[in-house]
Amino acid sequence: MNYSPLIDQLINAFRRLPGVGQKSAQRMALYFLERDRGGGNALAEALTAAMEGVGHCQRCRTLAEEALCRICQNPARDQQTLCVVETPADVFAVEQTASYKGLYYVLMGHLSPIDGIGPDEIGINGLVDMVTGSDISEVILATNPTVEGEATAYYIAEQLRSPALKERGLRISRIAHGVPVGGELEYIDGGTLVHSIAGRQVIDS
């Protein structure tokens, strides 16, 4: 069905959202137009404000409204531990666990030579400079457990193995990948089991 140009434009705008197809976009567009114009206006205002006011933290590169994000501004954070992630969404995911109290560095992607994404495109040189010019004692590589994520973690680890950083005793660690809590082995894929067995830990007696 062909709608008016403005309605088609709204539907196409919703289709830009991840996982939203034609029918879902049409349903959302018609919902706001038919039942909640106030909500639609609020959504438009919030989206415009965010697009204009949200940039990137000058230190860790996550999304922020100020030059430094709230995490980087917080003196209570552990200044000696740095967690390297691929996206701002990963920062939010780790923060929700309330188990990590250090700093972050957001790559905004991963290495993908086939797509023309190399070290410069994801700021690896900036990461190395940040670690070299600070008192950071441990770098936790928390890139995704994909082929690209593993390659990115390996490359970063190699770049951080300079003589100066070795002499300083910099520790480079990789997050564990294994069987999820509550999971049953018979339903776990082979790749996950391989990582689980390789990353096994000794149980203290």
- Domain for residue 108, yes or no? yes
Joined tokens for residue 104: 């972050």
Is the residue at 196 inside a domain? yes
Q: Is 68 inside a domain boundary?
A: no
Whether residues 120 and 189 share a domain: the answer is no
Provide the residue range defining the domain that includes 169. Answer: 80-174
Q: Tens digit of pLDDT for each residue in 92-151?
A: 999 998 989 999 999 999 999 999 999 999 999 999 999 999 999 999 999 998 899 999
CA proximity to 3, closest of 21, 39, 30, 28: 30
More confident residue, 47 or 177: 47
User: Are both 111 and 44 inside the same structural domain?
Assistant: no
pLDDT tens-place string over residues 54-74:
999 999 999 999 999 999 999
Residue type, 53: G
Residue 153 is encoded by which pair of tokens?
A: 């973690």
Q: Is residue 21 part of a domain?
A: yes
Q: Above 90 in pLDDT, residue 195? A: no
Number of neighbouring beta carbons within 10 Å of residue 27? 12
Decide if pLDDT at 205 tops 60.
Answer: no
- Whether residue 67 lies inside any domain: the answer is no
Tell me the CATH number at 151.
3.40.1360.10
One domain, residues 115 and 180: no
Q: Are residues 97 and 122 in the same domain?
A: yes
CATH of the domain at 31: 1.10.8.420
d(CA 71, CA 29): 36
Same domain (yes/no): 124, 152? yes
Whether 66 is in a domain gets the answer no
Tens digits of residue pLDDT in 10-25:
999 999 999 999 999 9
User: Does one domain contain both 94 and 131?
Assistant: yes
pLDDT tens across 141-190, in order? 999 988 999 999 999 999 999 998 988 999 999 988 887 777 777 777 78
Same domain assignment for residues 28 and 96: no
Same domain, 85 and 169: yes
188 domain-assigned: yes
pLDDT above 60 for 39: yes
Let me know whether 102 and 148 are in one domain: yes
Residue 204 reports pLDDT greater than 70 = no
| CB-based burial, 122-157: b 16+ in 10 Å, e otherwise | bbbeebbebbeeeebebbbbbbbbeebbbebbebbe
Clarify whether residues 165 and 84 are in a common domain.
yes
Same-domain check for residues 48 and 115: no
Query: Is residue 197 domain-resident?
Result: yes
Same domain, 163 and 143: yes
Query: Which position has the higher pLDDT, 89 or 182?
Result: 89
Cβ–Cβ < 8 Å for 159, 120:
no
Q: Which of 2-6, 44-48, 66-70, 121-125 has the lowest mean pLDDT?
A: 2-6
CB-based contact 78:134 (threshold 8 Å): no
| Number of separate domains in the chain | 3
